[in-house]
Amino acid sequence: MIKFCPLFSGSSGNAIYLKYRDTSILIDAGLSKRKITQAIADIGEDASELDAILITHEHYDHISGIGVMERGYNIPIYANTSTWKEMPRIFGRIREENKKTFETGKRFVIKDIEIMPFSIPHDTADPVGFSFFLDSKKITSVTDMGHLTETIAENIKGSDLLLLESNHDLDMLINGRYPLKLKKRIQGEKGHLCNKDCGDIVVKFIEFGLKTVVLGHMSAQNNVPQLAYDTVRKCIEENGYVIGKDINLVVAVREGNNRVFLL
């Protein structure tokens, strides 16, 4: 059985849980050890049994809890070389033997889980999304991406479940209180996906077998879950697909009570 849960998803902290057979991993750890441990316990699992934490990129909301998680539970941490160079100053010292490296674009294995880290356009050293191969099922998680690239499309193809960024509503961002420079960064080629872009991407992959889409990494300032859901729903329906029949659409809340997906 595959158990997948976006424990936390959003600009104030990210941590996604995945368990398959005897292997459990976390994708990012951008919150305190206490919060992550509690969230894992809330879905009936044990943080001390984690086999690895995979890191997408070195932004604070993805790695702020890495140091305390590694020091507390002695967990191997996986990131690419460029990301490792940027990280330790953010979370402090960790055991040398737990600093594991993967290569972007090259599959690797952690016990029962095969993982493909792929390049995404974002304003950090070498940011990645991940696809997970779990016997006949494929799960892809990709957030913090300015736009869809060929590489991302190739990796989303054939996924049964996709966690995709639906970061902001474009009008809320443009009319909101953020400084102009930050608005430009978010909208940029290496920024974040808006709800409409997210919807357009989802539609492309339904014909490739995509069954469930989880909207994630929502902005607290510039988005509302219902608005994100409605925008993506509209894109799906305008293309002739039916929610609940052709595809399931779910919003990952920023914190607490997130749905556990069993595949």
Beta carbon of residue 122, minimum distance to Zn ion (angstroms, whole number): 6
Report residue 91 as tokens. 């979370």
For Zn ion, how many residues bind (rule: CB under 5 A)?
3
Instruction: Please give the distance of CA 164 from its chain centroid, rounded to a whole number.
Output: 7
Within positions 213 to 242, which residues make up the interface with Zn ion, using CB under 5 A?
none
- The Cα–Cα gap between 203 and 247 comes to 10
**Does the footprint of Zn ion cover residue 169 (CB under 5 A)?**
no
Kindly calculate the radius of gyration of the chain based on its CA atoms and give it in whole angstroms. 17
The H or E element spanning position 183 is helix 180-187
Report residue 223 as tokens. 């988005």
**Does the footprint of Zn ion cover residue 61 (CB under 5 A)?**
yes
Beta carbon of residue 149, minimum distance to Zn ion (angstroms, whole number): 16
Question: DSSP secondary structure string, 196-218?
Answer: HHHHHHHHHHGGGT--EEEEE-B
Closer CB to Zn ion, residue 19 or residue 59? 59
Q: Are 130 and 115 in contact (CB under 8 A)?
A: yes
In the complex, residue closest to Zn ion by CB: 59
Only one of the segments 35-43, 51-59, 110-118, 221-229 lies at the binding site for Zn ion (rule: CB under 5 A); that segment is 51-59
Report residue 93 as tokens. 């010292």
Q: Are 66 and 77 in contact (CB under 8 A)?
A: yes
Instruction: Please give the distance of CA 113 from its chain centroid, rounded to a whole number.
Output: 17
Closer CB to Zn ion, residue 20 or residue 167? 167
- The Cα–Cα gap between 208 and 206 comes to 5
Phi and psi torsions of 185, nearest 5° = -60, -45
Only one of the segments 55-63, 67-75, 76-84, 148-156 lies at the binding site for Zn ion (rule: CB under 5 A); that segment is 55-63
**Does the footprint of Zn ion cover residue 59 (CB under 5 A)?**
yes
Measured CA distances, 221 to 33, 173, 182, 217 (Å): 25, 8, 12, 12
Closer CB to Zn ion, residue 35 or residue 59? 59
Closer CB to Zn ion, residue 144 or residue 197? 144
Only one of the segments 54-62, 66-74, 97-105, 133-141 lies at the binding site for Zn ion (rule: CB under 5 A); that segment is 54-62
Closer CB to Zn ion, residue 19 or residue 217? 217
Beta carbon of residue 81, minimum distance to Zn ion (angstroms, whole number): 18
Beta carbon of residue 138, minimum distance to Zn ion (angstroms, whole number): 23
Closer CB to Zn ion, residue 119 or residue 248? 119
Beta carbon of residue 58, minimum distance to Zn ion (angstroms, whole number): 8
**Does the footprint of Zn ion cover residue 19 (CB under 5 A)?**
no
Site string for Zn ion, 135-154 (x = CB under 5 A): ---------x----------
Nearest C-alpha neighbor of 87 from the set 71, 65, 72, 103: 65
Closer CB to Zn ion, residue 201 or residue 203? 201
- The Cα–Cα gap between 100 and 52 comes to 9
Q: Given the rule CB under 5 A, which residues bind Zn ion?
A: 59, 61, 144
